[in-house]
Amino acid sequence: MLPLIDGDVKLELSDAKLDEMRALLPMFYDVGPSPATVSHVSVPGAAGQPDVTLVVHTPKGAAHVRPGILYIHGGGMVLGDAVMRQGIDGARAVDWDCVMVCVDYRLAPETRFPGAIEDCYAALTWMAQNAERLGVDTNRIAVMGDSAGAGLAASIAQLARDRGGPYLAAQILIYPMLDYRTGADDDPNPNPTTGEFSWTRESNRYGWSALRGDYAAADARAGHFSAALAKNLTDLPPAFIATGTLDLFFEEIMDYARRLCRAGVPTELHSYAGAVHGFDILPDAAVTKQFHTDLERAARRMLAAEEEI
């Protein structure tokens, strides 16, 4: 999502404002070029669907086998692309010594469910099949995202399980967008203290509606659309989840983390007091620094080779 968190500023999405918001989003991630070696790859999409563009960040220097992360950008299902965070994505590739593969999935409302999730799954499949070429250890592949991208990452973890692969070592979910009901009349856990800044109930309803179209969200694919709807969370990869207590998604994230734990999924959950959605856009804030420390420690541990554990 767009992390507008200054004072009373709120992002209000609509069909009329969508093009304007898409043009504005990159300025919030003006973090310079990637410090890694960058390549752009077009890979086959799902059957009958267009190819998917990937942006691959590989640390410079001597080649060796590394962990691989499929990164899925945020943007409320309707905004963003795979290059807007290239400085951040490349820096993580270098700092964590991993190959970062960022997927440019199709956005709603131009592409409804299951377009985005199928694009991300095609990217994951290609990544696993081309691991040797990428210098990636197939036993150390993770799926990661922020906001809507984290929601898609959670659904990808379910989809990979349901389709029998590829294997995932971890799911790293940064304030994930998990439940299409949040902020709607049928919100299962309404919280009056969340969603007042940055990403609002109105914007959430717009983003989910744009993705959903006429899909009823009542069949076996429901968790692939909205991860919180999955009835079965067993046999999923270990999870790292982070959120702020004022984030609109706080309640759905707490519930999803609890359900993961009950399903026997190793889950590390961090809740940052007073933080709103997209809080880490402020790099010098104490809470952002703590988040980055927690995130890096968890990612390194979850993706370590056996001999490093």
Catalytic positions:
147, 247, 277
Q: Is 234 exposed, middle or buried (CB count within 10 Å of its CB: 0-12, 13-18, 19+)?
A: exposed
H or E element in which residue 71 lies: strand 66-72
Q: How far apart are CA 56 and CA 36, in angstroms?
A: 9
Q: What angle do CA 60, 66, 71 make, to 5 degrees?
A: 85
Nearest Cα to 233, choosing from 210, 213, 260, 215?
A: 260
- CB-based burial, 76-113: b 16+ in 10 Å, e otherwise: bbbbbbbbbbbbbbbbbbbebebbbbbbbbbbbbebbb
Q: Are 75 and 25 in contact (CB under 8 A)?
A: yes
Q: How far apart are CA 131 and CA 42, in angstroms?
A: 16
Q: Tell me which amino acid residue 44 is.
A: P
Q: Is 236 exposed, middle or buried (CB count within 10 Å of its CB: 0-12, 13-18, 19+)?
A: buried
Nearest-Å Rg of the Cα atoms of the chain is 18
Q: Are 56 and 38 in contact (CB under 8 A)?
A: yes
Please report where in the chains the tokens 């983003």 appear, as a residue: 207
Q: What angle do CA 28, 30, 31 make, to 5 degrees?
A: 125
Q: What angle do CA 28, 29, 30 make, to 5 degrees?
A: 100
